[in-house]
Amino acid sequence: MGVQLTVGMGEIHVVRGAGNVLTALGLGSCIGVCLYDPLVRVAGMVHVVLPQSQADKIGELPGKFADSAIPATVQRMVEQGASPSRLKAAIAGGAQLFQFGASSTLDVGARNAEAVVAALRQAGIPLLAKDVGGSVGRTLRLISDNGLVVVRTIGGAERELATLGSILASSGVAA
């Protein structure tokens, strides 16, 4: 009895058991973070919008900011029976306006990617795969059966980014 959930901007969704799919649509500069505990099949996704939270603005959507999003998602997953030490991550998004010439002030995509990677490291969660940067829109899916992470470039093909539940998936990529 699986569910298919769309993870909107700043939202966190956590599901337990097989047959569920979490999706983040239209990632531009935002980052979709997939977290997975293979043992209890708890899957979480958060749609991060900005790198840093300002204390007064976290409000109802801690998922909006990289620094508050990762701890909040881990917390929700622990409530569903996941163990922080078993979690593995994959991320996608963080696109930027195409650089036609001089560097841009609008570098929120790169800052987001940096902040998410730092927050994962801080939480001690290995980052197994990432598809970040460039100037393309992306759609990200996490399948709860085995932690399969699939990325599609809008207007392009779909490809497998990682399987977070794989036995071999034990170490992180260089961040």
Partner 1 sequence: MNTAAAPEKLQQLVQTIRDLPALPEVVVRVMRMTEDPRTDAQSIARVIATDQAMAARVLKLANSAFYGLPRRVSTLSEAVVILGFRTIKNLAIAASTFELLNREIAGYWLQRGELWRHSLACAIGAQLIARRVRLPVVEEAFVAGLLHDIGKVAINLFVREQFDQIMECALKERIAFVEAEQAVLGFNHAMAGGLIAEKWNLPPSLVAVIKYHHQPSSAPEREPMISIVHLADVLSITLGIGIGGDGLYYHFEEDTLAMFGLEQADLDDLCEQIVEQMARAASLQEQPEVVLQ
List 27, 30, 74, 128, catalytic entry: 30
Measured from the CB of residue 166, what is the shortest distance to partner 1 in angstroms?
29
- Residue closer to partner 1 by CB (options 77, 140) is 140
Alpha carbons 155 and 136: distance in angstroms, whole number? 9
At which residue do the structure tokens 């909006």 appear?
64
- Residue closer to partner 1 by CB (options 25, 175) is 25
Is residue 30 part of the annotated active site? The answer reads yes
The contact set with partner 1 (CB under 8 A) reads 8-10, 26-30, 49-50, 57, 61, 64, 93, 95-98, 100, 102, 104-106, 108-109, 134-137, 154-156
- Residue closer to partner 1 by CB (options 7, 82) is 7
The residues carrying an active-site annotation are 30
